[in-house]
Amino acid sequence: MADLNKAYETQINNILQKTGKSVPELRAILESSGLTKHGELRDMFKAALGLGHGDANALVHFLQESDGQRAAQAAGKDENAVVDEIYSGAKAGLRPIHDTLMQHIFDLGEFEIAPKKGYISLRRKKQFVMIGPATNGRVEVGINAKGLAADDRLLEQPAGSMCNYKVKVTDIAQVDEQLIAWIRYAFDAAG
């Protein structure tokens, strides 16, 4: 956990350097925007300061002293309760895909699970995978790694996205050797 806190601190310091603004200046921008929703604030920082998605997202969490994991903990929810909530209702049918992915990922070694509002983040020294339902019929696996060969299945994401690649999974059969190999590559690179 100390490594993750150090990485988060480094990310915030890098954002301050990139923007040339102090924390009070950034907080003033946030407060004067009149925006209240996380996504709106994130998009505002992306546009106003030229930040990538991940940095803008981290900045909003930092300035509001919140993140999905702390919010879940504050609501008294543990990791399992958050995952149960993510895969409830119309998305309940996707839970077997999630569980199958996690069974394979647990075989890779030690990592931290950080539940967020609509997905889970898997981390070593840094995040290597995000898993969550994108629609009622599809789980998306975000993969943080560089140097993979994108194709029709492994979709490269724009610069500044939270993940370098995305894989859309609609059936347990798609949790195959290739997908696990991509995840293993990201796992190894994270740590």
Q: What is the pLDDT of residue 128?
A: 95
User: What is the token pair recorded at 130?
Assistant: 């995000």
Q: What is the pLDDT of residue 165?
A: 97
Q: What is the share, in percent, of the chain residues with pLDDT greater than 70?
A: 88
Q: What is the pLDDT of residue 14?
A: 87
Please give the residue that has the higher pLDDT: either 61 or 172.
172
Any idea where the domains of the chain sit in the sequence? Answer: 2-66, 79-189
Q: What is the pLDDT of residue 56?
A: 81
Using 50, 70 and 90 to split pLDDT, how confident is the model at 99?
very high
Determine the topology of domain 79-189 in CATH.
Answer: Aspartate Aminotransferase, domain 1 (3.90.1150)
Q: What is the pLDDT of residues 19-54, one digit of tens each?
A: 999 988 998 898 888 887 777 888 888 889 988 877
Q: What is the pLDDT of residue 7?
A: 66
Angle CA 105–106–108, to nearest 5? 70
Tell me the C-alpha distance between 80 and 143, whole Å: 22
Q: What is the pLDDT of residues 160-191, one digit of tens each?
A: 788 999 999 999 999 999 999 999 999 999 98
Please give the residue that has the higher pLDDT: either 64 or 178.
178
3-state secondary structure labels for all residues of 51-76? CCHHHHHHHHHHHHCCCHHHHHHHCC
